[in-house]
Structure 1
Amino acid sequence: MDKTVWKPSKRIIESSNIYKMMQHYGFDEYKDFWKWSVANKETFWEATVKNLEIKLAQNYTSIVDTSKGVENAAWLKNSKLNIVDSCFQNEDNETAVIFQEEGKSLQKITQKELLKLVNQIANGLQDLGLKEGDKIAINMPMTLEAVAIYLAGIKAGMPIVTIADSFTPNEIEIRLNITKPKVIFTQDVLKRGEKELPLYQKVVDANAPKTIVIKTSKEKFDLRKEDVFLDTFLSSKTDFNTVIQNPEAIITVLFSSGTTGAPKAIPWTHTTPIKSASDGYYHQDIHKNDVVCWPTNLGWMMGPWLVFASLINKASIALYYGTPTDANFGQFVQDAKVTMLGVIPSFVKYWQSSKCMEQFNWNAIQCYSSTGEVSNPLEMNYLMQLANNKPVIEYCGGTEIGGGYITSTVVQPNIASTFSSQALGGEFILLDETNNKTKKGELFLIPPIMGLSNTLLNSNHYDVYYKNTPKYEGKLLRRHGDQLEQLENGYYKMQGRVDDAMNLGGIKVSSIQIEAVINKLSFVKESAAIAVAPKEGGPSVLVVYYVENSSKINVEERFQQAKDSIKNKLNPLFKLTDLIKIEILPRTASNKVMRRKLREEYLK
């Protein structure tokens, strides 16, 4: 077991948000406080809504109503609100967003200035004739404009469909067809160092609806006749009356990998961000006027998480427009005085091998947080030392949770690559293959938990998460698909997935999506894609086994074709590590491919 590398001082414990709550309810031990938070969910979430100062236009009659079953829990029953109002409760002149374009200097925008831009966009949407309930899509990097557009749509009662900027036209089109937005916002190009990658053109190739384009390049180019630049679209009107809605109104639609190949369209409601902000408040210990940086995109749940966990907690969002793997990002973290830095383990691996971040003073960082992939203890220990020994809050959850189910805290000893606690206000159980409680097995959530999804746009929600799940002590359990191990000291380690989903480069994708692309190659009869966790820990690598269709193409050419196909049809961030020919794929009696057996075979 890894040794403890960070222990909280009395000062750190006593200045934490968790400690304030523990004091209020008379707890000395964190473990007792967590138990209380799940045994008294109503009291815990009621206090949390108060701590976060969630702004309600009409108060709730009960914090949660489970009269239609825990799987249909109604939070903030009978209240009226718009969660965006809770994002603008700091002083007008405090910094809301710190941002830096590649090669340019650091810029800051106050809460008052951000609200003005949000209102101009919201008015612009209404000027287009859009009304409450109409969907808007965003396919662009995480910029100041992206944050403002995101908040503006929600403020106007128009659900935001978020699509990651790394997707191919085919993947963008699939998501547009599922959600049918009236307009989409994008950029002309995506700048990556000296390169300019087309973004508007990808959206056009995806047969997108009316597109509003942010111009970032000096190059001239023509728009389709129905499309406009953001400058033309923006209203001059800087006031806007927030559209007040029911708590269960959809504010955003995110996509997660489905095991059928089609992405699951997961709606977030006005109550989902309360879970994001709650985790940020307790677990990442975000305080007023902190600076929160997490390189991400609105297309992944950490994008919306970053917006809500920062702004609801009255902290600044720090956005760097370049890549997070080079020294310029390190300079930005130093200059922006980032206090909470979020990472995916792949970044840290690169920072360690290049040593590019060692020159900077990151001492303003109070804690890190890591998500998206399984981390490696050696790399996480290295990360901790970059800020003069600061803890890493390991954090794992899901788009359909609105945050994490397992995490760490700043009030407990920090052990690299382990989780010290189930998330406050939520509970899970580990079961073995015979549905008995175990220390190493499949994780099942115990609803209700604030933030858990109740609907899917393109699937039956009950079938996906609850159908045929075992009961535990008479309680309905919710499927999630992760495998965990609880260690002797009570901490947890991630053991990968039980289903056919995988995390590649911090992005969840199903095996079936990859196999569908590989199976179209001329030399492939059938295939099986697996994610393999290295023995020493760290991010999973993508391996594909295939049964051959007779072909004269050589091994190198086959690998290149498979690699290009995944890159061009799915996502350039999915890197193929190995392509292996096999005589026959191992199958169960019911003809399902035994991917677990292939993983075991590969690791021999």
Structure 2
Amino acid sequence: MAGKTLDSITSQDIAALGIPSEEAEKLHQTLLQIITSCGAATPQTWSRISKELLNPDLPYSLHQMMYYGCYSHFGPDPPAWLPDPENVMLTNVGQLLERRGKEFLGSRYKDPISSFSDFQKFSVSNPEVYWKTVLDELSISFSVPPQCVLYDNPSRENGLSYPGGQWLPGAFINPARNCLSVNDKRTLDDTVVIWHDEGDDGMPINRMTLEELRREVWYATFYLTTVLMVWKASKSGVFFVRSFFVALEAEGEVTLPSKIVWGSWPPTKVSFFCLGSNLGQILTMDQLKRGGWVLAGF
């Protein structure tokens, strides 16, 4: 829909939409004040027009005139939505551009919204700088760092080809470590997982902190490395409580699963409990029985 630019709209144009002349003049004066303050075609202009000039009681045709007038430079397909500048500053890209926009774009940098297209072009023409910056911003660490960000002409190794180049050649990364580690941008109390149970939209949103996620991962790791391992105390290799007590009664050697207990994920109190149990310092039922204590029901 083609239309006039905001600075060419007159009070007569507004009145022609069925608005009384006196009200049309007031609306036009408000429009001129906004244009003087923000310009004729900026995101701030439309934000103020939608808040200070337009309201549901005014004709839809006026809404269209203001909207297409503000975004006339976009051509026939103006944006359906532009983020609020304040919300833009809360995004990772917005904060990065505010800190280093002039470093990347020089004098071309204005603000995160106006300079976003230039920043996108910069990311394509300077992949080394851009992706190193992104990896640093996300606090991603490598077990083995890459030789470079993008290798344009990799040789055919093991029959593999890389038509678009090879990204991060030679790099090794531990995704679990990056997801579960605490860094300068993430604490144990931060929410890291948000989900909604299927089948009932009325149920509340579920949230899990990093500390809770680490605990769940440790439980799963412990199960996979202990419960599912081959249990040598039984002929079938399957763990049974009875076979465990038989092994204890025989005073066989019980090896502390040190790699699990002293790993980085178990809570400290769990680690020391396992250590104490292995040393026979925890008054579990079998220890009480060995000491001659008889408990009801045992």
**TM-score of the pair, normalised by structure 1:** 0.20
**More contact order relative to length (CA 8 Å, sep ≥ 6):** 1
Q: Which has the higher strand share?
A: 1
Q: Which has a greater percent of helix?
A: 2
